[in-house]
Structure 1
Amino acid sequence: MSYPGYPPSGYPAFPGYPPTGQESVYPPAGQYTYPAAPGGYPPAGGGSFPAAPPSTGYPEAGGYPAPGGFPAPGGFPGAPQAGGMPSYPGGPGFGVPPTGPGFGGYPQPPAQSYGGGGPAQIPGYPGGQAPSPMPGPPAAMPQYTQGTIQAAPNFDAGRDAEILRKAMKGFGTDEKAIVDVVANRSNEQRQKIKAAFKTMYGKDLIKDLKSELSGNVEELILALFMPRTYYDAWSLYHAMKGAGTQERVLIEILCTRTNQEIREIVNCYKSQFGRDIEEDIRADTSGHFERLLVSMCQGNRDENQTVDYQKAQEDAQRLYQAGEGKLGTDESCFNMVLASRSFPQLRATAEAYSRIANRDLASSIDREFSGNVERGLKAILQCAFDRPAFFAERLYHAMKGAGTNDSTLIRIIVSRSEIDLVQIKQKFTEMYQKTLATMIAGDTSGDYRRLLLAIVGQ
């Protein structure tokens, strides 16, 4: 983070400014001194010099959510707005991914850097010189996420179980009553409905639903009643079960989940299906794609949100030498960087890479890789910049052209419904100039369409 006009001309830089937790005091007490000035520093009256903007993203401790709900009315300063990404003082917006749907270009940090040390000699810069990798614009990408499904107020599991029982009792099924309950309850509430149903009627709700429903609406409702972690593990298991492998499902789940989510999925896979997910991946995939997925299964991505710009410069140079800068490709180098670095760190690395190689990192991955490993690496990179854009693109291609990939449509809508489906909808409209609901309505029908639209929030 930088402050316009600081340090003043003729004065040395302050490495590491502003120190975490001391953004509102300048200079940090006991570290640096300013020349005497009338009234002294800070100005008489005890004011801080200068006040710093929030640096840790949203929500802030003690700040957001604001009264009246979350997000705060009018949005947050620097928060993503429809039609654009946040902007920072003195520079363009960050959080814009590389190429293709949902990809733009990488913004360039200021070429000037304050502080000691000569410029590094790096190919791709004018005269072979790069600016010193001192902190530039923040690589953090302030954003908030929001699901379309919220927990229902005044929830009564027994009453909902009774409604579902009545909807399935006798001849015919009242699908509308089922949709109205299922689409307006959180996943946690649905688990309580299942338990109440068995307690009240001595029957298994899922078995009853399966006997009454069929086709896509059955798959959608059963997915909604699966606990979130189990649904991911179930999806991975069925992607590798039997003949053939659904590699895109493996990428969609393993390359987009958080460390905690991945560890929970791995444990659930073992406990529910009695199998080791790593062994199944090794049996169903091969080569560099197999190694990338095994790396993802560890759930060990660095989660430190502080960016090391020196390391970003080094990683960018390493990636350049492993791909564009040599004949052939050192795939293990790309695997190491993209599988282990934090998302803020990857954004900084990608920005440095675009200066070194004179093209963005996604384009280089296109040139150096192919097939599933290319798709996996690009999924990680896109999620580092804009995870909702990744899912928006997947949804679009699930419905584009003749036919619909209903399993992909169901899986993404259900799995993101309580996480970031609001942002996915916004990104979908920005990327494709049509709403997600419009495309769903044109590709589906009946109770299946009604339930999908209810989840999406139309």
Structure 2
Amino acid sequence: MSYPGYPPSDGYPAFPGYPPTGQESVYPPAGQYTYPAVPGGYPPAGGGTYPAAPPSTGFPGAGYPAPGCYPGAPQAGGMPPYPGVGFPGGQAPSPMPGPPAAMVQGTQGTIRAAADFDAGRDAEILRKAMKGFGTDEQAIIDVVANRSNDQRQKIKAAFKTMYGKDLIKDLKSELSGNVEELILALFMPSTYYDAWSLRHAMKGAGTQESVLIEILCTRTNQEIREIVNCYKSEFGRDIEQDIRADTSGHFERLLISMCQGNRDENQTVDYQKAQEDAQRLYQAGEGRLGTDESCFNMVLASRSFPQLKATVEAYSRIANRDLLSSIDREFSGNVERGLKTIVQCALNRPAFFAERLYHSMKGAGTDDSTLIRIVVTRSEIDLVQIKQMFTQMYQKTLATMIASDTSGDYRRLLLAIVGQ
């Protein structure tokens, strides 16, 4: 069965310019960039363990088919953000005056479920906004930017019950361009949107490797397993086979490892193992002629993110160089970007997404699909922290940069999601 309003493997919503072409994420060369610290860093003073990741918020299926596709909303970003350690210069910058420690150590989205929610009332508002001559885009924005993904699914179901029409088809007929892509993305269940993005990154000529890296190297085990199941049920395809057909070599093997969703999620750090892994990575790279790529793949694909952070710290002491710099020296191309993404997420996940957002808008033109995808997928997880990191890293707010790079209803909806 197919997802209501979205064709399965034989067709896709007509999103303009999706996926983007030739706009890979560009990471600054080693030695030119210092990753920021997050207030309230880890590990706790005197040792101890990392707090457990926040539980899943729960995500009712809202009557949609393919049980593997929509069982749960993304967990809250996996691990809390970590301070930058061992980066060029040897010291992370001082943290900016911060929010309460509870907010820093947890995660928080800019969109939360509306308290006084009535799916039927919202469906009626959307119907009136699209009925007759012209479209009341502001009314649509006011609804979709202030409802959780779960609530949007209920609005979609109520719309079909009340009017016998498909809300997605109506929205597509009334909207166009980037605002259409953004609103349709908001109405996709979270797991489906990730699976849809991966399918489009590999569909047709060329491959958008940056999309594969962004999704597969940053999601939690549960999220990845749900994405893999959704990919199969909705598009009738095996994601591993598609990855093998579209990628090769060490990059292919890294993505296949990510697809297993088997990363250790024990939040207790084994500092002895961190020391051993750091020594192993050094011997596989800087400490030898050539590189043992499989060693890097094994450690970075299997260890928990808190464990990897401890390994990065130990590596800096052993190699007198940070691990990101060593990866930059030992690898190139997509596998380099994938490995660095894993390390960056272990150290500071919000900063990784802040950097992606910055590069989507930096310079001439805007990589709108990357901007939309990150704003939508992180809006209920950690967009508050991403905004804080963005300001610290680039001395401007995310909202300011969005406002200068976008226009019209597209700008208004993005700013409504991001918040000022």
**TM-score interval for Structure 1 and Structure 2 normalised by the shorter chain:** 0.7 to 0.9
Q: 1:56 to 1:172 in 2, by over 3 A?
A: closer
Contact 1:79 1:143 in 2 (8 A): no
Q: List runs of 5+ in structure 2 lacking aligned partners.
A: none
Tell me the alpha carbon deviations over residues 286-316 of structure 1, each in whole angstroms, 9 at most, x when there is no partner: 0000000000000000001111111111111
Cα deviation, 1:66-115, whole Å, max 9, x if unaligned, reads: xxxxx999999999999999999xxxxxxxxxxxxxxxxxxxxxxxxxxx
Of residues 39-48 and 271-280 in structure 1, the stretch that sits farther from structure 2 once superposed is 39-48
Distance in 2 separating the partners of 1:3 and 1:358? 52
> In 2, distance between residues paired with 1:11 and 1:158?
28
Cα distance in 2 for partners of 1:441, 1:174 equals 21
Distance change >3 Å, CA 314–CA 23, structure 1 → 2: farther
Look up the match of 1:97: none
**Alpha-carbon distance between aligned partners in 2 of 1:187 and 1:3, rounded to the nearest angstrom:** 15
Q: Mark the runs of 5 or more structure 1 residues left unpaired by the alignment.
A: 65-70, 89-123
Verify the 8 A CA contact 1:168 1:174 in the aligned structure 2: yes
- Matches of 1:146 and 1:307 in 2, distance apart? 24
Cα separation, partners in 2 of 1:36 and 1:15, compared to 1, 3 Å: farther
What is the alpha-carbon distance in structure 1 between the residues aligned to residue 177 and residue 35 of structure 2?
73
Residues 149 and 186, structure 2, Cα contact 8 Å, conserved in 1 = yes
Shift of 1:154: 1.1
Go from structure 1 to structure 2 and tell me whether the alpha carbon gap of 1:13 and 1:205 turns closer, same or farther (over 3 Å shift).
closer
Percent sequence identity is 91
Distance in 2 between residues matched to 1:8 and 1:243, nearest whole Å = 19
Residues 335, 211 of structure 1: CA spacing in aligned structure 2 closer, same or farther, 3 A cutoff? same
Residues 217-260 of structure 1: per-residue CA shift (max 9 Å, x gap): 00000000000000000000000000000000000000000000
Q: Which moved more, 1:34-43 or 1:145-154?
A: 34-43
Give the Å deviation of 1:34: 44
Larger deviation, residues 5-14 vs 27-36: 5-14
Note if contact 1:320-1:357 (Cα within 8 Å) is conserved in structure 2.
Answer: yes
Please tell me whether Structure 1 or Structure 2 has the larger radius of gyration of its CA atoms. 1
Using the TM superposition, give the Cα deviation of residue 414 of structure 1 relative to its aligned residue in structure 2, in angstroms. Answer: 0.2
Distance in 2 of aligned mates of 1:272 and 1:75: 8
Structure 1 pair 76–326 and aligned structure 2 pair: CA distance change class (3 A): same
303, 321, 331: which one aligns with 1:359: 321
The answer to which of 129-138 and 302-311 deviates more is: 129-138
Q: 1-side partners of 2:19 and 2:313: how far apart? A: 22
The alpha-carbon distance between structure 1 residues 164 and 322, as it changes in their structure 2 partners (threshold 3 A), is: same
**Kept after mapping to 2: 8 A contact 1:79/1:85:** no
Residues 150, 60 of structure 1: alpha-carbon distance in 2 compared, 3 angstrom cutoff:
closer
**TM-score normalized with structure 1 length:** 0.70
> How big is the shift at 1:153?
1.2
Equivalent-residue separation in structure 1 for 2:124 and 2:53 (angstroms): 55
> Structure 1 stretch 229-238 or stretch 19-28: which is displaced more?
19-28
RMSD: 17.9
Q: 1:3, CA displacement in angstroms?
A: 55
Q: Is the 8 A contact 1:134 1:309 kept in 2?
A: no
- Aligned to 1:191, the other structure's residue is in SS state helix
Q: Following the alignment from structure 2 to structure 1, what is the Cα–Cα distance between the partners of residues 117 and 223?
A: 27
How has the CA–CA distance of structure 1 residues 365 and 60 changed in structure 2, closer, same or farther, with 3 Å as cutoff? Answer: farther
Distance 1:41 1:294, change over 3 A: closer
Distance 1:44 1:3, change over 3 A: farther
Deviation at 1:143, TM superposition (A): 1.4
Deviation at 1:348, TM superposition (A): 1.0
Distance (whole Å) between structure 1 residues aligned to residue 179 and residue 26 of structure 2: 58
How many residue pairs are counted as aligned between the two chains? 416
Q: CA deviation at 1:45?
A: 26
Bigger drift between 18-27 and 369-378 goes to 18-27
Q: Secondary structure of 2:101's partner?
A: coil
Structure 1 residues 32 and 258, CA, compared in 2 at 3 Å: closer, same or farther? closer
How many angstroms does 1:438 deviate by?
Answer: 0.1
Contact 1:27 1:33 in 2 (8 A): no
Query: 1:324: Cα distance to partner?
Result: 0.3
- Contact 2:217 2:338 survives alignment (8 Å): yes
Change (3 A) 1:347 1:284: same
Q: Could you say if the C-alpha distance between residues 53 and 2 of structure 1 is closer, same or farther in structure 2, counting changes exceeding 3 Å?
A: farther
Partner of 1:345: 307
1: CA distance, partners of 2:353 / 2:29: 43
Match of 2:88 in 1: 126
The match for 1:453 is 415
Taking a change above 3 Å as real, the CA distance of residues 73 and 50 of structure 1, as seen in their structure-2 partners, is farther
Sort the Cα spacing of 1:263 and 1:33 in 2 relative to 1 into closer, same or farther, 3 A: closer
Kindly indicate whether the alpha-carbon contact (under 8 Å) linking 1:254 and 1:297 is maintained by their aligned counterparts in 2.
yes
Q: Which moved more, 1:169-178 or 1:38-47?
A: 38-47
**Cα 1:139–1:15 shift into 2, 3 Å:** farther
Residues 1:322 and 1:3: Cα distance change in structure 2 (over 3 Å):
farther
* Higher RCO (C-alpha under 8 Å, 6+ residues apart): 2
Task: Check conservation: 2:108, 2:383, Cα contact below 8 A.
Answer: yes
Give the Cα separation in 2 of the matches to 1:293 and 1:2: 26
Report the CA distance shift for 1:3/1:223 in structure 2 as closer, same or farther (over 3 A): closer
Q: SS of the counterpart of 1:418?
A: coil
Alpha carbons of structure 1 residues 332 and 449: separation in structure 2 relative to 1, 3 Å: same
Q: Would you say the 8 A contact 2:18–2:369 is kept in 1? A: no
CA distance in structure 2 between the partners assigned to 1:394 and 1:272 by the alignment: 28
**1:77/1:364 Cα in 2 relative to 1: closer, same or farther (>3 Å)?**
farther
The CA deviation at 1:457 is 1.2
2: distance between equivalents of 1:51 and 1:204?
A: 40
CA contact (8 A) 2:37 2:95 kept: no
C-alpha displacement at 1:41, in angstroms?
A: 31
How far is 1:138 from its partner? 20
C-alpha separation in 2, matches of 1:136 and 1:335: 35
Please give the secondary structure, in 2, of the residue aligned with 1:311: helix
